[in-house]
Structure 1
Amino acid sequence: MKGKRRQRRPDCMTSVVQQLFDTCKAVFAEGTAGFIPPPEDVFRIRSILDRLKPEDVGLSPKLPFFKNIDARRPSPITYLHVYTCDEFSIGIFCLPPNAVIPLHNHPGMTVFSKILFGSMHIKSFDWVAVSQDSIEPCRVVLPSGERLAKVKTDAVFTAPCETSILYPSSGGNMHCFTAKTACAFLDVLGPPYSSPERNCTYYFDHAYTKYAGMSPLDLGEGEGEGEGYGWLQERTGQPEEFLVVGAKYRGHNIVED
């Protein structure tokens, strides 16, 4: 009928990618740094991502950007842009074997990461902060600038596995990915990186024992000489060994209202 508004198909007929977009649009409507979705909204996004499959986003391990081009050089990582706005972004990283996304942070963000296929090692940290009497928690920073962080995750993950979530100050806000096999993962960032207020910072990871004698923090007994901690040192700019190229996203399209 003319003039009749077209109705959106029910969720059972809507692609998982469209459901993800619609849910993120509602959950991250505020779009402010430091915003943490309530548990029920975290569950909504996570449950959609846990159902997401490589074919939903047009991926297959047989695609050329999952192969090593030159063993003598760092393998380029391919990024597929799915969607971005001021409130959130959706994107996919495609890693050939042994490719590395260096240790980096997510300032003021909540991030959902879903491994679509393959295996990768993930190491993540959260900053260590200590309270001094009634004063707000302060950072444990050395005179040379290294800052103490506690390891949140240090393990290999293989698809299918649950979606991981990090928050502005917990959950492993700084993380590094190393591809054990060809692999791909989808990221939802809320809000996304934005210059200059939410720039990405990269870090070197030093063992706790390297500066243990200079630490003002008493880790107490049973910590294994600082096992589970590290000193993170800021790097200038994007690491030269981190090579990213773009490619066209060929999965299910997103329809905006």
Structure 2
Amino acid sequence: MERSKIQVLYDATHALFSQEGLPTFQQIHNLKKLLDKIEAIDVGIDEWGLCDSPISDASDDSSKELLCGQGFSEITYIHIHECDDFSMGVFCLPAGKVFPLHDHPEMTVLSKLLYGSAYVKAYDWIALDSTGCQTIGLGGKVVDEVMKAPHEPSVLFPRSGGNIHSFTALTPCAILDVLSPPYSEDFGRPSTYYSDIPIPSLNGYAILEEKPMPTDLIVQGAPYLGPSIVTVHDYNNFAQMAFHNYV
């Protein structure tokens, strides 16, 4: 049976981020190419809100309907998978909504704009001071543009590529994220939010200051309706069952 696109992405992501040592740029590039093949329908979303078409390559899930891409009234997160090594999910934003400036501590992040358009602003640290109660420092802007699908996936690293970024939905849009490792309060990888104060005398630079999570930031959850993913855990369980049945 042919694997779905999201299964191929999962398999490659697991192979890359579960290995010993850091991935190479070529390995990241190869994963980026796989991510670029993913479309909204491959993760169970109907961009135009028709909501009456079965998922095209879902095999056993073919009876499921799709989520309406135009129907979200709040920022919505669709959880696809999470393990110790990485997480996969989709943020769906209605027009006008803002996901504020936030960071990805010690993470590699690959993102694909599945549909729509968004204004993206991203910084990397030039200098920072985290010795006090709040982190504050100088950030250099590395992205300041409107992204419109189709757009090649973006890649950010712990200290480059725009690790601190924000999204403003200009139209309804969806962003598929692959994060490695995932956010974790227990392992010192919380999501931190920032305000940015541009420096008039230094074009492209701003003072970034940590702030509490905005009280008006609402992120709802929605079920993942795309093709089922067979995880490594599933493989292991199947092998154990097969072994016990054999003996």
Q: 2:18 aligns with which of 29, 32, 43?
A: 29
Equivalence for 2:183: 193
Q: Report the alpha carbon displacement of residue 20 of structure 1 after superposing the two structures with TM.
A: 0.5
CA contact (8 A) 1:77 1:95 kept: yes
Cα distance in 1 for residues equivalent to 2:135 and 2:87 = 32
Equivalence for 1:133: none
**What letter matches 2:199 in structure 1?**
Y
Aligned-partner SS, 1:55: helix
Aligned-partner SS, 2:161: coil
Equivalence for 1:208: 199
Equivalence for 2:57: none
Cα distance in 2 for residues equivalent to 1:87 and 1:121 = 29
Unaligned runs of 5+ in 1: 1-8, 70-75, 130-138, 210-224
Cα distance in 1 for residues equivalent to 2:192 and 2:69 = 26
Q: Is 1:249 paired with 2:199? A: no
Q: Report the alpha carbon displacement of residue 97 of structure 1 after superposing the two structures with TM.
A: 0.2
CA contact (8 A) 1:128 1:140 kept: no
Equivalent residues in 2 for 1:27-176 (5 A)? 27-30=16-19, 36-61=22-47, 62=49, 63=67, 66-67=70-71, 69=73, 76-129=74-127, 139=128, 146-176=136-166
TM-score, with length taken from structure 1: 0.77
Aligned-partner SS, 1:128: strand
TM-score, with length taken from structure 2: 0.80
* Divergent runs of 4+, >2 A: 63-69, 143-146
**What letter matches 2:222 in structure 1?**
A
Instruction: Please tell me whether Structure 1 or Structure 2 has the larger radius of gyration of its CA atoms.
Output: 1
Tell me: CA distance 1:36–1:207, structure 2 relative to 1, closer, same or farther (3 Å).
farther
Cα distance in 1 for residues equivalent to 2:22 and 2:118 = 26
Cα distance in 1 for residues equivalent to 2:6 and 2:122 = 27
CA contact (8 A) 2:129 2:135 kept: no
**What letter matches 1:53 in structure 2?**
E
Cα distance in 2 for residues equivalent to 1:112 and 1:47 = 11
CA contact (8 A) 1:36 1:167 kept: no
Deviation string 1:6-65 (CA, Å, 9 cap, x unpaired) is: xxx4xxx2111000100111100048xxx7420121022101111111111111232556
Equivalence for 1:230: 206
Q: Report the alpha carbon displacement of residue 146 of structure 1 after superposing the two structures with TM.
A: 3.3
Cα distance in 2 for residues equivalent to 1:147 and 1:67 = 39
Deviation string 1:65-94 (CA, Å, 9 cap, x unpaired) is: 63475xxxxxx2111000000100000000
Cα distance in 1 for residues equivalent to 2:178 and 2:35 = 10
Tell me: CA distance 1:22–1:145, structure 2 relative to 1, closer, same or farther (3 Å).
closer
Cα distance in 2 for residues equivalent to 1:68 and 1:149 = 33
Q: 2:172 aligns with which of 179, 182, 186?
A: 182
Cα distance in 1 for residues equivalent to 2:82 and 2:135 = 34
Q: Report the alpha carbon displacement of residue 193 of structure 1 after superposing the two structures with TM.
A: 0.2
Deviation string 1:97-133 (CA, Å, 9 cap, x unpaired) is: 011110000000000000000000100000004xxxx
Tell me the number of residue pairs that the alignment of Structure 1 and Structure 2 aligns.
Answer: 212
Cα distance in 2 for residues equivalent to 1:255 and 1:149 = 41
**What letter matches 1:232 in structure 2?**
L
**What letter matches 1:127 in structure 2?**
W
Deviation string 1:188-245 (CA, Å, 9 cap, x unpaired) is: 0000000131001000111113xxxxxxxxxxxxxxx211001111012x21121001
Equivalence for 1:132: none
Cα distance in 2 for residues equivalent to 1:37 and 1:66 = 36
**What letter matches 2:144 in structure 1?**
D
Equivalence for 1:72: none
Aligned-partner SS, 1:160: coil
Q: Work out the percentage of aligned pairs sharing the same amino acid.
A: 42
Equivalence for 2:60: none
Cα distance in 1 for residues equivalent to 2:75 and 2:228 = 23
